[in-house]
């Protein structure tokens, strides 16, 4: 940061030059960004900006969602758009365009990126216009789409398994947990807390002592008698990945890899006594957990069910009938 005595009033050219300078200092692999405010796509990361007075920035009045690009196709976008619209309604945000237009903007932004693999994150914001709480009278809801390589996870998560801790941060109240808003402070703090302790993630526990979810992923368990268990979805985010896997998992019962599938409350003691534990989400896919609060889960090695679930997901991402949108590069 420049020292306060030297603060200058900048013109548009200075601003562009300085935004470029920022990106040179810290290069980012973002390949395309759509902004409804600009009415177009930019591919220069220095231009991927939104007005500071947008209420998503200074009040957290915004929502988002993330879908994947796999082999030049967008996977399961409709499920993510369903959740995006549910989040918009819960946040009293009026979409700035129809769902069809939104899908088309996402597909065209992905095409402009040229990327065959990665993530698409998109946001709806309550707009700019004042620094109050409720949107300004003439505020226009914003819609933004970013194409980026996706979050990178350590290969060790999949080969050796993850080590997690019960977070000391309270789980979000149900309404905020089921809404994918831009208020991720508890999720950020839980990841930082785990990192500070040399661990890979945290576990939110609800007020009744049942397992909730991780920082940006859901959590499933396999009991010692082979039952795949997942918490109810009324107090945690409805993960598109785990919901799809729960639809696909009956094939694992047929194959004898698991005995049954159950959705319900999972008390911590029961969860700790599992044969397997796994984290599931559209960025991590399916990653086994082998240690929780220093307690070994199962035999301390990634188990067969987490491997089978990962395989099911990867196959669905490649072949999922009716779930893939071709990107017209």
Ligand X SMILES: Cc1ncc(COP(=O)(O)O)c(C=O)c1O
Site for ligand X contains 241 (CB under 6 A)? yes
154: tokens are 């350590």
Rounded (5°) CA angle 177-182-188: 75
CB of 3 to ligand X, least distance (A): 39
328: tokens are 């017209």
6 is catalytic: no
Could you say which of 56, 102, 110, 240 contacts ligand X (CB under 6 A)?
A: 240
Bridge partner residues of 287 (DSSP) = 279
CB of 7 to ligand X, least distance (A): 38
The residue among 139 and 240 lying less far from ligand X, judged by its C-beta, is: 240
Which of 25, 73, 116, 180 is flagged as catalytic?
180
CB of 301 to ligand X, least distance (A): 24
Report CA Rg, the chain.
21
The residue among 282 and 306 lying less far from ligand X, judged by its C-beta, is: 282
Binding mask 252-291 for ligand X (x = CB under 6 A): -----------------------------xx---------
The residue among 242 and 287 lying less far from ligand X, judged by its C-beta, is: 242
Strand order in the sheet with 62-70: 40-42, 32-35, 142-148, 118-125, 62-70, 73-75, 324-326
Q: What is the 3-state secondary structure (H, E, C) of 10-34?
A: CCHHHHHHHHHHHHHHCCCCCCEEE
The residue among 203 and 237 lying less far from ligand X, judged by its C-beta, is: 237
d(CA 286, CA 313): 8
Could you say which of 147, 203, 228, 237 contacts ligand X (CB under 6 A)?
A: 237
Q: Which stretch in 26-34, 85-93, 101-109, 210-218 sits in contact with ligand X by CB under 6 A?
A: 210-218
d(CA 204, CA 213): 5
d(CA 3, CA 310): 51
200 alpha carbon, distance to own chain's centre: 16
Site for ligand X contains 213 (CB under 6 A)? yes
Q: Which stretch in 19-27, 35-43, 216-224, 306-314 sits in contact with ligand X by CB under 6 A?
A: 216-224
Could you say which of 135, 150, 161, 239 contacts ligand X (CB under 6 A)?
A: 239
The residue among 274 and 282 lying less far from ligand X, judged by its C-beta, is: 282
Could you say which of 167, 182, 216, 274 contacts ligand X (CB under 6 A)?
A: 216
131: tokens are 């620094």
The residue among 61 and 172 lying less far from ligand X, judged by its C-beta, is: 172
CB of 285 to ligand X, least distance (A): 9
**Nearest by Cα to 119 from 79, 148, 84, 83:** 148
SS3 at position 243: helix
Four-CA torsion 99, 103, 108, 114, nearest 10 degrees: 160
d(CA 141, CA 27): 29
195: Cβ contacts below 8 Å, ≥ 6 apart: none
Contact positions with ligand X (CB under 6 A) in 146-205: 187
Q: Which stretch in 24-32, 46-54, 136-144, 214-222 sits in contact with ligand X by CB under 6 A?
A: 214-222
Binding residues (CB under 6 A) for ligand X: these are 66, 187, 213, 216-218, 237, 239-242, 281-282
The set of catalytic residues is: 180
């Amino acid at each position: 940061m420049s020292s306060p005595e030297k603060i200058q009033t900048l013109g548009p050219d200075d601003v562009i030059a300085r935004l470029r300078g920022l990106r040179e200092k810290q290069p980012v692999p973002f390949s395309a960004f759509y902004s409804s405010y600009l009415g177009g796509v930019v591919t220069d990361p220095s231009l991927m900006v939104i007005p500071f007075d947008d209420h998503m920035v200074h009040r957290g009045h915004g929502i988002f969602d993330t879908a994947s690009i796999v082999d030049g196709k967008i996977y399961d976008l409709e499920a993510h758009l369903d959740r995006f619209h549910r989040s918009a309604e819960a946040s009293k945000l009026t979409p700035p365009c129809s769902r069809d237009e939104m899908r088309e903007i996402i597909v065209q932004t992905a095409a402009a990126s040229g990327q065959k693999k990665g993530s698409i994150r998109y946001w709806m914001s309550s707009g700019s216009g004042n620094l109050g709480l409720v949107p300004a009278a003439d505020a226009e809801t914003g819609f933004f789409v970013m194409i980026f390589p996706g979050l990178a996870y350590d290969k060790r998560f999949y080969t050796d398994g993850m080590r997690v801790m019960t977070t000391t941060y309270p789980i979000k109240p149900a309404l905020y947990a089921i809404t994918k808003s831009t208020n991720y402070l508890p999720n950020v703090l839980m990841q930082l807390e785990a990192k500070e302790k040399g661990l890979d993630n945290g576990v939110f526990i609800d007020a009744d002592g049942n397992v909730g979810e991780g920082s940006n992923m859901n959590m499933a368990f396999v009991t010692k008698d082979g039952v795949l268990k997942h918490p109810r979805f009324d107090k945690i985010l409805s993960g598109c990945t785990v919901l799809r896997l729960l639809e696909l998992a009956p094939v694992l019962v047929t194959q004898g890899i698991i005995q049954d599938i159950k959705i319900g409350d999972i008390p911590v003691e029961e969860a700790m006594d599992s044969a397997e534990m796994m984290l599931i989400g559209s960025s991590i896919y399916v990653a086994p957990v082998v240690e929780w609060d220093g307690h070994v889960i199962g035999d301390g090695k990634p188990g067969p069910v987490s491997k089978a679930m990962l395989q099911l997901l990867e196959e669905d991402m490649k072949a999922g009938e009716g779930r893939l949108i071709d990107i017209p590069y």
